[in-house]
Amino acid sequence: MAPVDTLHLRVTSTRTRDGQLAVAAAALRAGKLVAFPTETVYGLGANIYDEDAVRAIFTAKGRPPDNPMIVHVADVDQAVNLAQRVPRHFPILADTFWPGPLTLVVPRNASVFDAVTAGLDTVAVRMPGHKIARALIAEAGVPLAAPSANRSGRPSPTCAEDVLAELGGRIFAVLDGGPCAVGIESTVLDLSRRAPSILRPGVVTREQLESVLGTRVGVARSNTLHPASPGMKYAHYAPATPLLLVLPSARAAGTRKQLAATIRGLREQGRTVGLLAAAKYGDLGADEFFSLDTGTDVEYARLMYRGLRALDTRGFDAIVCPGLPEEGLALAVMNRLRKAAHTVIKAHPGT
């Protein structure tokens, strides 16, 4: 594809009078690709009713054609218009969690191109919580197909600069709405089968979904032969630098010891190390440290991709990152870190 000069459009307000928003919306209507902010990560948008534009997303990202995309809507009606039928649990979930980081997979109707859903008979829909995203979709007047705005397999971008680093020269524009508040992708929930099932863990947790629905919610196992969600079978979220994920010990002192030993071991072999961890681990002697602040699950989610990307540009031999106990939001954080990891280092028993 011929390189283009990607526009960096800074949005100042969500009013349609905002010139930048209007430029982005007009470009989308005309079939161009525009990256835009959501509360989770930046998405790479295309008009879902323009088949060539949808296909161009796969080319720009280098995305496998059998991986379907999430359709972003400005209101519930736009989502219902894509569905062949409205699943029983849809209304209460949309009512409770939209706008927000929950994607719902529903049976699709004939108005949705095969290119969007990779030929599946379902479509994934989400109404983003970010005001600029909703204003853009409303102004464009059409739902937007939008995967995360990264090259396929790489960490998702959580600010406009990271989008440009990934896709600059390959897309028409990025609409800059500042850094993403959440930082990791939405929860994907399949409502197309008899029982609701989580295809990708995210900010909205299984416990929250179960309490709203009053029924058990399953979690699809990643199965590379028969994936429930095509996205499950691909390598994901990975920096070019090998990531060493150090699983947490039962006690914080054990985690500190294990981290220190891992970094010391690498340095003794003459390797350079970037450390991505809570501020309290800043003294462990890595070549460079990227702080995840207090190191709570929320801070991990918000800063993790930024940190992975920043350390990845430094050309170190390894990036080391401690994991979190896998529950609540940390389940989603660890789902991404495990997929991004080159090696997972287990905690020593008894620490």
Binding site for ligand TXA (CB under 6 A): 38, 40-41, 43, 67-70, 101, 103, 105, 117, 120, 122-124, 126, 146-148, 185-186, 188, 199-200, 229-231
Nearer to ligand TXA among residue 117 and residue 258 (C-beta): 117
Length of the chain, please? 351
**E strands, the chain, where?**
7-10, 34-36, 43-47, 70-72, 102-107, 122-126, 144-145, 173-176, 187-190, 197-200, 218-219, 243-246, 273-277, 288-291, 318-322, 343-345
Q: Report the DSSP pairing between strands 343-345 and 288-291.
A: unpaired
> Residue 173 Cβ, how far from ligand TXA at the closest point, in Å?
16
Dist CA 348 CA 236 (whole Å): 27
Dist CA 154 CA 265 (whole Å): 27
The answer to whether residue 122 forms part of the interface with Mg ion (CB under 5 A) is no
DSSP assignment of 228-287 equals: SSGGGGS--S--SSPEEEEPPPSSHHHHHHHHHHHHHHHHHTT--EEEEE-GGGTTS--S
Nearer to ligand TXA among residue 184 and residue 284 (C-beta): 184
Nearer to ligand TXA among residue 67 and residue 335 (C-beta): 67
The answer to whether residue 241 forms part of the interface with Mg ion (CB under 5 A) is no
The answer to whether residue 67 forms part of the interface with Mg ion (CB under 5 A) is no
> Residue 120 Cβ, how far from ligand TXA at the closest point, in Å?
5
Query: Rounded to whole angstroms, what are the CA distances from 27 to 15, 94, 98, 175, 281?
Result: 17, 29, 26, 11, 46
> Residue 317 Cβ, how far from ligand TXA at the closest point, in Å?
28
Contacted by 335, from ligand TXA, Mg ion, none: CB < 5 to 8 Å by type:
none
Contact between 184 and 110 under an 8 Å Cβ cutoff? The reply is: no
Dist CA 233 CA 226 (whole Å): 9
Q: Point out which span in 74-82, 119-127, 148-156, 280-288 binds Mg ion (CB under 5 A).
A: 148-156
> Residue 86 Cβ, how far from ligand TXA at the closest point, in Å?
16
List the Cα angle 122/127/130 in 5-degree steps: 145
Nearer to ligand TXA among residue 6 and residue 122 (C-beta): 122
Helices (H), 81-178: 90-97, 114-117, 131-140, 160-167
The CB-nearest residue to Mg ion is 148
Q: Point out which span in 79-87, 147-155, 200-208, 247-255 binds Mg ion (CB under 5 A).
A: 147-155
Q: Point out which span in 1-9, 141-149, 245-253, 305-313 binds Mg ion (CB under 5 A).
A: 141-149
The answer to whether residue 148 forms part of the interface with Mg ion (CB under 5 A) is yes
> Residue 148 Cβ, how far from Mg ion at the closest point, in Å?
3
> Residue 302 Cβ, how far from ligand TXA at the closest point, in Å?
13
The answer to whether residue 40 forms part of the interface with Mg ion (CB under 5 A) is no
Residues that bind Mg ion (CB under 5 A): 148
